Structure 1
């Protein structure tokens, strides 16, 4: 390269400025994105609970008894699969509520989330 000629490309300072601008933008956008992800998980959890409760009620209306376990709803083709709890990201953490407290043979009367922690509105997931 001869004296007086400029090379094409970016200087280190220019690259650092661009990276700083990108970091500031990411810092602004990331919390909003994470809030939306949490909102979506809570919405899906509420919908899964409503759907499972409606399915349990339909099973009771058809059979005259409550299902003994959630898998029975799948076996009897009331649902295709046991939905995943979006907070725990597992399908085996649901808390089954018996129709008669202490009577394990009465069947699944209600279902609650097995997730620990609180929702954005301050309520505990296990209360839903």
Structure 2
């Protein structure tokens, strides 16, 4: 009496497993991309708060606004000009000058599009 034992998976079993995995991925992948977009917005807001705080400290110390963001790095108010996480550029920041003057009064994102709250990124 010889029993031939075959071990392995049939094609039907493999197809069922792949179908289950595909249906689970259709639920997970959209949530993943929503979370990465939300994380980029959070980092953008944090970078803007940090740069605005550095601008205020620069003004308090020198009595004038910095002429460029690079001047703030040279004078050690920032370690480096942060990357705009939405646009992916370090030089994409929109610089707002004070009324009737020159320099960096405020910084805004140069990214196009809107955030999860519907506001344009340039309004953060």
Q: TM-score range by the shorter chain?
A: over 0.9
Q: Which position in structure 1 is the counterpart of 2:50?
A: 51
Structure 2 counterpart of 1:112, from 108, 111, 124:
108
Q: How far 1:4 sits from its partner (Å)?
A: 6.4
List aligned pairs for 1:1-128, cutoff 5 A: 5-100=4-99, 103=101, 106-128=102-124
Q: Distance in 1 between matches of 2:11 and 2:3?
A: 20
Q: How far 1:73 sits from its partner (Å)?
A: 0.5
How many residues are paired up? Answer: 123
Q: How far 1:34 sits from its partner (Å)?
A: 1.1
SS in 1 for 2:44: helix
1:84-118, Cα deviation, whole Å (9 max, x unpaired): 100011111000001126x5xx2110000000000
1:47-76, Cα deviation, whole Å (9 max, x unpaired): 100110010010000011000000000000
SS in 2 for 1:108: coil
User: What TM-score comes out, normalization by structure 2 length?
Assistant: 0.94
Q: Which runs of at least 4 in structure 1 moved beyond 3 Å after TM superposition?
A: none
User: Any stretches of 5+ residues in structure 2 without a counterpart?
Assistant: none
User: Any stretches of 5+ residues in structure 1 without a counterpart?
Assistant: none
User: What TM-score comes out, normalization by structure 1 length?
Assistant: 0.91
Q: How far 1:33 sits from its partner (Å)?
A: 1.2
Q: How far 1:6 sits from its partner (Å)?
A: 4.1
